[in-house]
Amino acid sequence: MPKVKTNSSAKKRFKVTGTGEITFQKAFKRHILTKKSKKRKRNLRKKGVVGQANKDFVQRLLGLK
């Protein structure tokens, strides 16, 4: 039987934590930062967590399911 390939774009974008949560880097922190407030930029530094609605889909892309 052939092995199931992990989606290459997904493995670059998502990380699985020790507790099984899937995290990702938030968007809108690359450029045009002068008009964004310090508070907004600070909150964009934090990791995002994949919600329940999308968790099954992302797990399938990562080959976890």
- At residue 64, the pLDDT reads 93
Contact 62, 20 (CB under 8 A): no
Strand intervals (E) in 1-65: 14-16, 22-25, 47-49
Give me the amino acid identity at 23: T
For the chain, give every domain's residue range: 8-62
**pLDDT tens for each residue of 5-58:** 999 999 999 999 999 999 999 999 999 999 999 999 999 999 999 999 999 999
65, pLDDT greater than 90: no
Q: CB–CB of 13/25 below 8 Å?
A: yes
pLDDT of residue 1: 87
pLDDT given at position 21: 97
Give the global pTM. 0.85
What's the fold here for domain 8-62?
Factor Xa Inhibitor (4.10.410)
